[in-house]
Structure 1
Amino acid sequence: MSKRFIPLGLLFFALSFVVGSCIDAPDFDFTPEISNPTVNSYQTVDLLGNPNVDSVVLSIRFRDGDGDLGVAANERADTVEKYKEWGNYQLTMLRRMPNGQFQEVPSLINQRLFFFPLKSDNKAGPLEGTLDFSQAFFATGFFEKAVVKFRIRIRDRALRVSNAVETDTLTINLPKPF
């Protein structure tokens, strides 16, 4: 009985190899590309249980030809030299002003943002997926509801910068302008 299964097993492995060989790896550019930005806001509570925290989750689709996205914690020591003014995730908040125009909101929190490597084996090869980022916006007496949107870019370890995308608008708590 086992002799009968040997040819069937060989046939199965041969067919698996042929079918697997027919699947081509995607051919993406080595410069990261991002698309389909989405933004969601959830009302959460602060450490004292007060419902005055806007938790914002930003999601983007990404593609990268060599998969060198993300920076490990031990690689961040040279951020001043290598990454200069921003990390590998750039988040710019734009606030709608009374005249209807959007103006950049300076933020020290968002200056050096990093995400960890997206490939665990560090082998070069195409990579695509969704990257999520979350941030909390706290409300106090000096805050007010404001309409904002976000501009996002990423860059890989070779410092190739992606295109920029902007989210839809949403209303969150921000410091009152002076």
Structure 2
Amino acid sequence: MSTRFIRKGLFFFGIAGLLVGCLEPPDFSDTPEISSPSVNSFPAFDDFSQVPKDSVVISVRFQDGDGDLGASTEERDTAKYIGWGNYELKTYRLVNGRFEYVPLPVLDRLFFPRLKPDDKGSPLEGTLDFSQSFLRSRNARMTPVKFTIRIRDRKLNVSNVVETDTISVPL
């Protein structure tokens, strides 16, 4: 009985191995592409001051043909990333029925880490999550905002721009 079980198990794993070996890697562009932006807000407290805050998490799906997304700590210090890092997040608030850009210095130069430890040029896809906190100070008012996001890879190929839904945060 155990020999029969082992044979069936080996047969199953052999077929599974053949099927996996026949799969074609996805054919993504070497320029990153992002999609499906989502934004969620969670009440929290600042760790240091214990002031209430809204923790906003922004998620985007990504695809990249050569998988060169993210930057190491050393790469972040180079002049390569002029103007912004490898993750750009812009905030727009609703004023008199129109959205206007809100410059937030904390969002000027954002980075996410390398997503693949090796430098093999293979396709990569997944989800990037970014978290930003908005403190609920006495002067802050709940304001409808939306965000635009784009990313760039280590070869400085820039993705498309996506826009989130509107959410209210203290500004």
Normalized against structure 1, the TM-score is what?
A: 0.86
Q: Structure 2 residue aligned with 1:129, among 126, 130, 133? A: 126
Instruction: Report deviation, 1:120.
Output: 1.8
Paired position in structure 1 for 2:50: 49
User: Once the two structures are superposed, what CA deviation does each residue of 1:113-168 show, in whole Å capped at 9, x if it has no partner?
Assistant: 00000112232100000000001011222211110000000000000000000000
Instruction: Report deviation, 1:45.
Output: 1.4
Please tell me whether residue 103 in structure 1 is matched to residue 104 in structure 2: no
User: Once the two structures are superposed, what CA deviation does each residue of 1:93-122 show, in whole Å capped at 9, x if it has no partner?
Assistant: 000002x11000011111100000011223
Gaps of 5+ in 2: none
Q: CA RMSD in A?
A: 2.2
Paired position in structure 2 for 1:19: 19
Instruction: Report deviation, 1:34.
Output: 0.3
Please tell me whether residue 171 in structure 1 is matched to residue 165 in structure 2: no
Structure 1 segment 111-126 matched on structure 2, within 5 A = 111-126=108-123
Residue type of the partner of 2:69?
L
Specify the SS of the correspondent of 1:15: helix
Q: Structure 2 residue aligned with 1:142, among 136, 139, 146? A: 139
Instruction: Report deviation, 1:49.
Output: 3.3
Counterpart CA distance in 1 for 2:137 and 2:12 is 65
Residue type of the partner of 2:133?
A
Specify the SS of the correspondent of 2:113: coil
Residue type of the partner of 1:76?
R
Please tell me whether residue 83 in structure 1 is matched to residue 76 in structure 2: no
Number of aligned residue pairs: give it: 170
Question: In 2 relative to 1, CA 26–143 (structure 1 residues): closer, same or farther, beyond 3 Å?
Answer: same
Specify the SS of the correspondent of 2:105: coil
Percent identity over paired residues: 52
Paired position in structure 1 for 2:66: 66
Moved over 2 A (4+): 3-18, 46-50
Gaps of 5+ in 1: none
User: Once the two structures are superposed, what CA deviation does each residue of 1:64-111 show, in whole Å capped at 9, x if it has no partner?
Assistant: 000000000011121xx211100000000000002x110000111111
Counterpart CA distance in 2 for 1:5 and 1:146 is 64
Question: In 2 relative to 1, CA 8–42 (structure 1 residues): closer, same or farther, beyond 3 Å?
Answer: closer
Specify the SS of the correspondent of 1:161: coil
Normalized against structure 2, the TM-score is what?
A: 0.90
Residue type of the partner of 2:64?
D
Question: In 2 relative to 1, CA 11–139 (structure 1 residues): closer, same or farther, beyond 3 Å?
Answer: closer
